[in-house]
């Protein structure tokens, strides 16, 4: 491969992980404000499966995939002021195409990666860590002593949420599918765990003196929506932030009244970090959490050429922590 070429993952049509193709392509010239990055590690996030499947439409087909990575700056457009060739950087919100050996990212979407944070940790944890920080501080504000319910607590976002909640004195009840995942969530800081095939709402009420959890964080979506409604305390806040089992549809507002005057949010991280100053300050908060002992568990790494396997594994429900692709 010559220097004018990059290797990347693309898809021409929506479907199962087998639509992902690994191929060489010509490198785009830089646009104003852009920085070219040689990726050292690439984050795999459940949202990538939504773009691949068509649940979230990409701007066009064929499309690249992925929005998160970490690497080294190899070229800057003339007007770039914040970054220089050789800088270590990370990003969570590139245009679709992070599954590539190199790509161009607008400087407003980049953060400097401190020397004490590895590329793999950044790619495995930055998007999920920022999501956790936003969920607990911006979307909702549980306080020390509050009890919250968190689905998929042994997943990429989930294990960071367990640790973050513990640091804040929040009692996090993690919902997970296996006893092994339950142990992992508890060792990361979950106060209690519920197995997903149990009666989640019944268990949640037993653990909260019949009240229910003040805050419920549900990224599983369709299959857990009703259980989440039933697990939320009166006047509580249900945060629906993902679709791992499919999207939640046809919600009648009266349901929220019947469930106890609930508030529901449907946040997307990217809306909370569209200002680059906010992005950088939240990233710094996350890096500080790492320095203070928070761990990003990278459960599996794959070569970039194995993105198909990475997606199949993520959707199989058999992962813990994060998946990272190495170019
Ligand atoms: N709104 C936002 O801005 C935002 C940002 C980041 C992530 N998210 C969402 O947060 C969730 C977690 O993302 P992640 O990348 O860290 O993934 P993840 O939690 O590591 O993986 C998904 C987990 O969801 C659980 N799950 C339950 N039902 C499932 C099903 N039918 N199919 C697949 N998984 C199922 C599984 O855990 P168990 O086996 O324990 O059930 C699985 O391991 C995703 O829904 C993602 O879209 C949202």
Q: How many whole angstroms from 85 Cα to the centroid of ligand 1?
A: 35
**Cβ count near 251 (within 10 Å):** 13
Residue 223 belongs to domain with CATH number: 3.40.50.720
62: helix, strand or coil: coil
Rounded distance, CA 168 to CA 193, Å? 18
The band of 2, judged by pLDDT with boundaries at 50, 70 and 90, is low
- Tell me: do 74 and 171 sit in the same domain: no
Rounded distance, CA 151 to CA 205, Å? 15
- Assess whether the C-beta atom of 269 lies below 6 angstroms from ligand 1: yes
- Tell me: do 110 and 20 sit in the same domain: yes
Helix, strand and coil content of the chain, in percent to the nearest 5, comes to 35, 30, 35
Q: How many whole angstroms from 267 Cα to the centroid of ligand 1?
A: 15
Q: Is the model's pTM score more than 0.95?
A: yes
Dmax (CA) of the chain: 64
Beta-carbon-side half-sphere exposure of residue 326 (alpha carbons within 13 Å): 9
| Average pLDDT across the chain, whole number | 97
For the CA of 221, the nearest atom of ligand 1: 45
- What is the pLDDT, as a whole number, of residue 4? 74
Residue 96 belongs to domain with CATH number: 3.90.180.10
- Tell me: do 151 and 191 sit in the same domain: yes
- Tell me: do 190 and 289 sit in the same domain: no
pLDDT more than 90, % of the chain: 97
Helix axes of 307-316 and 46-53: crossing angle, nearest 10 degrees: 110
pLDDT digits (tens, 9 = 90+) for 120-150: 999 999 999 999 999 999 999 999 999 999 9
Closest CA relative to residue 69, chosen from 89, 94, 102, 43: 43
- Assess whether the C-beta atom of 154 lies below 6 angstroms from ligand 1: yes
Q: How many whole angstroms from 89 Cα to the centroid of ligand 1?
A: 26
- What is the pLDDT, as a whole number, of residue 3? 60
Domain's final residue, options 235, 265, 295: 265
Quick check: 160 and 129 in contact, CB under 8 A? Answer: yes
For the CA of 50, the nearest atom of ligand 1: 47
Domain of 210 in residue numbering reads as: 144-265
> Residue 232, by phi and psi: left (phi above 0), alpha (psi -120 to 50) or beta?
beta
- Assess whether the C-beta atom of 177 lies below 6 angstroms from ligand 1: yes
Q: How many whole angstroms from 246 Cα to the centroid of ligand 1?
A: 10
Quick check: 278 and 272 in contact, CB under 8 A? Answer: yes
What residue's CA is closest to ligand 1, atom 19?
Answer: 155
What residue's CA is closest to ligand 1, atom 39?
Answer: 177
Closest CA relative to residue 156, chosen from 230, 283, 53, 48: 48
Rounded distance, CA 175 to CA 198, Å? 10
Count of the separate structural domains present in the chain: 2
- Assess whether the C-beta atom of 157 lies below 6 angstroms from ligand 1: yes
- Tell me: do 245 and 293 sit in the same domain: no
Rounded distance, CA 159 to CA 185, Å? 6
For the CA of 245, the nearest atom of ligand 1: 31
- Assess whether the C-beta atom of 49 lies below 6 angstroms from ligand 1: no
Domain's final residue, options 231, 246, 265: 265
For residue 135, tell me if it sits in a domain: no
Which class for 50: exposed (0-12), middle (13-18), buried (19 or more C-beta within 10 A)? middle
pLDDT digits (tens, 9 = 90+) for 182-215: 999 999 999 999 999 999 999 999 999 999 999 9
- Tell me: do 234 and 160 sit in the same domain: yes
- Tell me: do 276 and 252 sit in the same domain: no
């Amino acid at each position: 491969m010559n220097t004018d070429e990059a290797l990347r993952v693309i898809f021409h049509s929506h479907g199962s992980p087998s639509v992902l193709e690994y191929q060489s392509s010509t490198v785009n010239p830089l646009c104003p404000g852009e920085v070219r990055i040689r990726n050292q590690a690439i984050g795999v996030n459940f949202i990538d499966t939504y773009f691949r499947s068509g649940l979230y439409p990409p701007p066009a087909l064929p499309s690249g995939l992925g929005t998160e990575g970490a690497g080294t700056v190899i070229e800057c457009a003339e007007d770039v002021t914040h970054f220089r060739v050789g800088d270590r950087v990370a990003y969570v919100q590139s245009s679709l195409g992070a599954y590539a050996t190199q790509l161009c990212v607008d400087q407003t979407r980049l953060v400097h990666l401190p020397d004490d944070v590895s590329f793999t940790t950044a790619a495995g944890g930055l998007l999920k860590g920022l999501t956790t920080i936003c969920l607990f501080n911006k979307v909702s504000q549980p306080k020390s002593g509050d009890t919250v319910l968190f689905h998929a607590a042994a997943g990429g976002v989930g294990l960071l949420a367990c640790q973050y909640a513990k640091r804040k004195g929040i009692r996090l009840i993690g919902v997970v599918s296996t006893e092994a995942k339950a142990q992992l969530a508890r060792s990361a800081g979950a106060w209690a765990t519920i197995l997903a095939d149990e009666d989640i709402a019944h268990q949640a009420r037993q653990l909260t003196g019949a009240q229910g959890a003040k805050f419920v964080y549900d990224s599983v979506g369709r299959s857990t929506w009703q259980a989440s409604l039933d697990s939320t305390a009166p006047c509580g806040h249900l945060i629906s932030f993902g679709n791992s089992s499919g999207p939640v549809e046809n919600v009648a507002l009266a349901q929220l009244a019947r469930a106890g005057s609930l508030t529901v949010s449907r946040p997307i991280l990217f809306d909370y970090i569209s200002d680059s100053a906010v992005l950088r300050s939240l990233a710094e908060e996350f890096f500080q959490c790492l320095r203070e002992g928070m761990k990003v568990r990278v459960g599996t790494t794959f070569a970039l050429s194995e993105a198909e396997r990475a997606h199949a594994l993520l959707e199989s429900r058999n992962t813990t922590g994060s998946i990272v692709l190495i170019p």
